[in-house]
Structure 1
Amino acid sequence: MSSVTQPTARVPANLRRVSGIQTNVSFADTQANLARMLDWLQKDEVAASDLIVFPECMLSGYCFSSYDEAWPHAQSIPGPATDAIGDWCRQTGKFVAFGMLERGADGKLYNSCPLVGPNGVVDCYRKIHLPYLGVDRFTSMGQQPYRSFDAGGLRVGVHICYDGSFPESSRCLALEGADLLILPTNWPPGADTFAKYLPNARALENNVYFVSVNRVGTERGFRFIGQSRFCDPNGNPLADAPHEDECVLTAEIDLSKARNKRLVRVPREHVIDRWADRRPEAYGAITRPHSLVRDIEG
């Protein structure tokens, strides 16, 4: 790496700047994709950002046809890619999250997203909800409980692509203190409605910031639709990419807005508190195993 972006002066303590990188990915070429990430990290558009987020399976590509085909393109965490990204983070004081295939010590393959910072790997999320699609047909389900990761005082909740279809994922991450939910994705055609509405809804219902970071390009006949989006805690878009071109989405996060769950619209007359007003005792159906869910065909 020939040059390193220098850290910028810190803005007020309650503010953070986050960038999502909507980019193409080279299938089954980890070296090219690592170089692509490092190149994006040098660009002026991310120079002032505290956290940079890349798409799902950024390091490897997604459309593998078997476990054996995918395994050589997976890496351990920590490993070569997280070490290289960690070197950049160490020199800049910034954080990076990116999708990759992980070689588990148990011999299993995981669809993962590590968060890397100045001190190396902060933590890693393994995808829990696995669609019958692409490499997810051969990956194992993550077993860890949802939790938020600390990115220099910004609390980040990580989930991946299909996880976003399950509102329980976002809610658990928000309950674990996340200020920002990141959703690295590989959305193909058919996911346009998700891209258009899901980030807004998840941000609003949890009073958090939300960024979906999708890839673009074509891989083994699959086209990826872009349409990444950044939303504020009211569900309003802060940055949008309603297209399939490579780009950077950047927005400023006010930690105080994400952490204030009690919204006083009209004093003593209109107060919204989606935390205090929860009724967990009424939600038992959500946690029942699939086999116990009422048979809607019966």
Structure 2
Amino acid sequence: MTADERLPQAPVTDLRVAAAQAASVPGDLVANVAKAADFVDRADNEGADLVVFGELYLPGYHPESLAADPDGCDVEADGEGLVADPRLDPLRQIVQHHHVSVLIGASVRRAGKRHISQLLVDKYGLVHDAYHKQQVWDEERRLFTAGTDGGSVLLGDWHLGLGICYDACFPEHARAAAVDGAHAYVVGGAYLAGGGHRRDLYHAARALDNTFYTVFAGAVGGEDPWRFGGGSAIYDPEGQVLAHVDEDTEGLAVADLDPQRLSETRAEHTMLVDRPGDLGGRNVTKAPM
């Protein structure tokens, strides 16, 4: 069996992705939805098929607000994972108008638990609770329950593995998506100002580790101690930056995910198919001091 036969089939068509770097107003879901709709409109003008927003974009990443006003900050998902909150209507409408798809960070109540989630707003305006963050971090543990399963979105012939912020710090999280057949790893995050070195290194490394595209949309703005540096960027399957937004500014990083580039990289760098199934035990050799 050749390496190509052991990898998932590459998509046929390009996918244009926009990583939106937009500041949220803590606790003001209505205002944040309005801004998200504006960013989707701007992304459509650049031909985007998918627009991605940062972690907890809808309520804002602000633990004090999330703790004080869960009813105002959260949306509810039903047993089928659909969200029908009317506060999201402006976003649904702009998505339906432009026939794009959106992944956006939210605080979601589902089956009695509260999760940091990625919502998928599909081109028909349906809102799906697509993925719950598995690796919750520090302050988040007081407020949220970790997800138990990975998540993916199939958008046309593109398989997109999903992650949220701290998830991408764990190589095995992105690797699980790649092994499952992902062509790209799409992450919404919120890195505090000053964390840019780690943030950029993680997402470039996850791309090269798995020879797939990585899309990162980062939170920006806010006040200390919850001030975020952005860092939204799109990386090719060798971890090279295709597009980015400057730190501490709002904007869009827009790039085409190219199936040919994906196939060529995976043919040249065969880590995914060469990885051993079992590394065995560990031999220890004692050296004199």
Give the 5 Å matches for 1:155-194: 155-194=159-198
Q: Contact 2:119 / 2:130 at 8 angstroms: preserved in 1?
A: yes
The aligned amino acid for 2:59 is S
The aligned amino acid for 1:131 is W
Residues 1:66 and 1:40: Cα distance change in structure 2 (over 3 Å): closer
Say which SS state the counterpart of residue 48 (structure 1) adopts.
coil
Q: Contact 1:66 / 1:138 at 8 angstroms: preserved in 2?
A: no
Partner of 2:247: 243
TM-score (norm 2): 0.83
Q: Deviations over 1:237-294 (max 9, x none)?
A: 1012242100110001112433566424xxxxxxx31122111212789xxxxxxxxx
Please list every run of 5 or more consecutive structure 1 residues that lacks an aligned counterpart in the other structure.
1-11, 265-271, 286-298
Residue 117 of structure 2, aligned match among 103, 112, 115: 112
Distance 1:84 1:62 in 2: 21
Give the 5 Å matches for 1:1-298: 13-43=12-42, 46-65=45-64, 68-72=67-71, 73-77=73-77, 78-80=83-85, 84-105=90-111, 107-119=112-124, 120-121=126-127, 124-133=130-139, 135-144=140-149, 146-219=150-223, 221-259=225-263, 262-264=266-268, 272-282=269-279
The aligned amino acid for 1:126 is H
Say which SS state the counterpart of residue 258 (structure 1) adopts.
helix
Q: Contact 1:111 / 1:136 at 8 angstroms: preserved in 2?
A: no
The percentage of aligned residue pairs carrying the same residue is 28
Give how far 1:200 is off: 1.1
The aligned amino acid for 1:280 is G
Between Structure 1 and Structure 2, how many residues are aligned? 264
Q: Contact 1:128 / 1:141 at 8 angstroms: preserved in 2?
A: yes
Say which SS state the counterpart of residue 273 (structure 2) adopts.
coil
Partner of 1:292: none
Q: Contact 1:203 / 1:209 at 8 angstroms: preserved in 2?
A: yes
Alpha-carbon RMSD across the aligned residues, in angstroms, is: 2.4
Say which SS state the counterpart of residue 237 (structure 2) adopts.
coil
> Does 1 or 2 have the higher relative contact order (CA < 8 Å, sep 6+)?
2
TM-score (norm 1): 0.81
Distance 1:45 1:239 in 2: 17
Distance 2:141 2:84 in 1: 21
Please list every run of 5 or more consecutive structure 2 residues that lacks an aligned counterpart in the other structure.
1-10, 78-82, 283-289
Q: Deviations over 1:207-257 (max 9, x none)?
A: 111111111111463211112221100111101224210011000111243
